[in-house]
Amino acid sequence: MKSFLTLLLACFGIGAVPAHAKPVELYRFQNDDGVTVLAQSIPSDLVHKGYEVVSEDGTVLRVVARELTTEERKERDRKLEEEKAAKDAGAARARHDLELTKLYASARDVEEARDRKLLSIDTAAATTKANLESLKLKKQHLEEQAADREREGLAPSADILDNLKILETQIEEKNRELEKRKVERQQVTEQFNLDLERIKLLYGIGPVKAAQATSAH
């Protein structure tokens, strides 16, 4: 049985802990000397070093990490950027793989698409070359006319000079166009080669199987 004193104290709420009372929280941290301290508060100038909040029985309630240094923040941000880039690259790869499997049912389909594209580029380049040769012949003809006039003691006519300038501009444009076709052909070849290797991987075609699939067509 409870003693009379205990009952009396209970009646007046003396010595009893209210059910709604907030548990006591203590701070565990290291002071400037590196000594671990347990106190009811923590100096503001030590908060940046991090601390633990514990209960009276020593149970860790939560942990507040120390502030990162400038270099540590930079390293953290760098790693986060790398992780994001890797994640984005993986998502882009998955989208590209889906597009490839929609476009091509086999490695042979990739090769045929590549050959068609390269043929188109080569045909356009051949047309440009033919036009370029025609322009060069016209320029040569005008230069011969100008030389004839000079041998006769006459200056080249204004028409000849104007047409030569026009032809020189057109020849430069055709040369630039040919160079662009050359670069385009290289880029297309490289991209199709990458797609071909990827399709082989996606469809599980090794070197031997790829050769057999190609010969079967």
Q: Say whether 4 sits in a helix, a strand or coil.
A: helix
Strand order, beta sheet including 60-64:
36-39, 26-30, 51-54, 60-64
Amino acid 136: pLDDT? 96
The whole-angstrom separation of Cα 213 and Cα 211 is 5
Amino acid 56: pLDDT? 86
Q: Check residue 20 and report its DSSP letter.
A: T
Amino acid 21: pLDDT? 56
Query: Residues with Cβ < 8 Å from 193, sequence gap 6 or more?
Result: 114
CB of 176 within 8 A of CB of 166?
A: no
The whole-angstrom separation of Cα 23 and Cα 58 is 12
Query: Token digits for 157?
Result: 């006519």
The HSE-up count of residue 26 (CA atoms within 13 Å, CB side) is 13
The whole-angstrom separation of Cα 106 and Cα 96 is 16
**Which one, of 57, 69, 67, lies nearest residue 25 by Cα?**
57
pTM for the model stands at 0.55
Specify the length of the chain in residues: 217
* Tokens 């301290």 belong to residue: 37
CB of 111 within 8 A of CB of 150?
A: no
The whole-angstrom separation of Cα 193 and Cα 187 is 10
The residue ranges of every structural domain in the chain are 4-64, 68-102, 104-208
Q: How many helices (H) and strands (E) does the chain have?
A: 5, 4
Query: Residues with Cβ < 8 Å from 188, sequence gap 6 or more?
Result: 114, 117, 118, 121
For every one of its 217 residues, what pLDDT tens digit does the chain have, with 9 covering 90 and above? 444 434 433 444 444 445 555 678 999 999 988 899 999 999 999 998 999 999 988 899 999 998 888 898 898 899 988 888 888 888 888 999 999 999 999 999 999 999 999 999 999 999 999 999 999 999 999 999 999 999 999 998 999 999 999 999 999 999 999 999 999 999 999 999 999 999 999 998 754 444 444 444 4
Amino acid 22: pLDDT? 66
CB atoms under 10 Å from CB of 73, counted, come to 11
